[in-house]
Amino acid sequence: LHHRCRSSVLSAAVTAQHNPTPRLSSTTAVAPRTDPGRAPMAEAASAAGATPLLPGLPDEISIWEILVRLPPKPLLRCRAVCPAWRRATSARDFLLAHHARQPALPLLYRRSGNGSSIDIIPCDHQAADELRSVARLDGAPGIFLQACCDGLLILGTWNKTDEGYAMMASICNPVTRQYAPLHQLDGFTFLGMYPHCPTDEYRLLLYLAPRFKDDAQSGSYIFTLGSDQPPRHIGCRDAKELLHSPRSVHFHGSLHWHTERLIMVFDTTSESFRQMRSPIVPDHVIGDLFEMSDMLGMFSLNAEETIVDIWVMLDYESQVWASKGRVELPISGIRLQLEKFDTWLDLVAASWNGDDVLMMVKFEDDSLLQIDIDGKLVASLHRRFLCPTRLRLKQSLVSHTFFPTLEGYVVNALPFI
């Protein structure tokens, strides 16, 4: 264990040496700034005359330049080295800083043969064809991913009832292995998840379909995780058009959905809807949003399913879009090269390393191809029941107070396998 931790720490130290935390010039005049948590932790260690975490290095460097760079699993292993390491790497301020450094990776999932379990897999295109699951959950057949926010996942299943099929929702953190069902959402349709900054709460945006023509209770609802109150009605029946839209994208403090010709926006502070312009591409039948280089991106696919246009919103406030590029999907060439003659089922665009855009194309035979913006095949993955999503996972070890308040809450137990 100590050897594995030492290797991880040395790797992080090398990274810190080549990519140090930016320092301000001595000639730059700025107001004093302190990073939350750093001063109290350093002062406590100094007052106690504690032995440094790493010999020859001040704890300020060990904690905030080295340990904070470790991936979640090696960091968890390092907690077992000694109580001082556990204390340093369990402080909330440290965990928030650690979470902020994690990459937001496109999320894949893989169902078991009978569909009763699901692997949650971040897709790192630099890891070649190595797919590493961060968690496996056992559950009802047909379990699927609905949303991802700050390392938290919303899962869904469809259960048969006397009135047909009803969606059952649950929440988990695949890294900390915390899980809880969300019984309060029974009967609602899920639209999105977001942090509500004014209250530091996590909230879910829901929709209740009308049971009859003038049902006053239909429309949009908001549920606060950890609350003992039922979802709160906010109206806005027009949100029903989002029921058939792709997953929302959380950007600029709002949730965004692409509809046929517009972008629906839900402001997560005022908790109200508005509309934005969408780049109009003639004869394109499929479109979806994604985040790229701190900008809102969009891709659209033509009716022949051969051309993808990539757009970015250069000015969010003025709603100014610009073309990023046009990609001719080399599907016919790929079929010949890889001897694929089956139909492709899904297309997802995602960004890596800021400006790099890759498209993931899912085929019937369980192949998942990665194609860059130049139309070149970057990688080909073949795993049974492997599916792309429009979600991105930014792993987190931060604990949340709402988890223990949820009925049926468990940690490191079933449904985690």
- Alpha carbon distances (Å) from 347 to 132, 164, 325, 362, 390: 22, 30, 17, 7, 10
Rounded Cα distance, 368 and 362, in Å: 5
Write out the residue limits of the CATH 2.120.10.30 domain(s) in the chain.
Answer: 102-411
- pLDDT of 82: 87
- Chain-wide mean pLDDT for the chain? 83
Chain segment 17-64, per-residue pLDDT in tens = 455 544 333 333 333 334 545 555 555 444 444 678 888 889 999 999
Q: Is the distance from CB of 59 to CB of 49 less than 8 angstroms? A: no
- pLDDT of 392: 93
Q: Please list, residue by residue across 94-105, b when 16 or more beta carbons sit within 10 angstroms of its beta carbon and e when fewer do.
A: bbebbbeebebb
Q: What is the pTM of this model?
A: 0.84
- pLDDT of 46: 45
- Sign of the dihedral through C-alpha 45, 46, 50, 56: positive
Closest CA to 416 of 241, 155, 163: 155
Neighbouring CB atoms inside 10 A of 139's CB total 21
What percent of the chain is predicted at pLDDT more than 70?
81
Quick one: fold of 102-411? Neuraminidase (2.120.10)
Chain segment 366-404, per-residue pLDDT in tens = 788 888 888 888 888 888 888 899 999 999 999 999 999
Chain segment 239-295, per-residue pLDDT in tens = 888 988 888 999 999 999 998 778 999 999 999 999 999 987 777 777 899 998 789
Chain segment 76-122, per-residue pLDDT in tens = 998 888 899 999 999 999 999 999 999 999 999 998 877 778 999 99
Rounded Cα distance, 116 and 377, in Å: 32
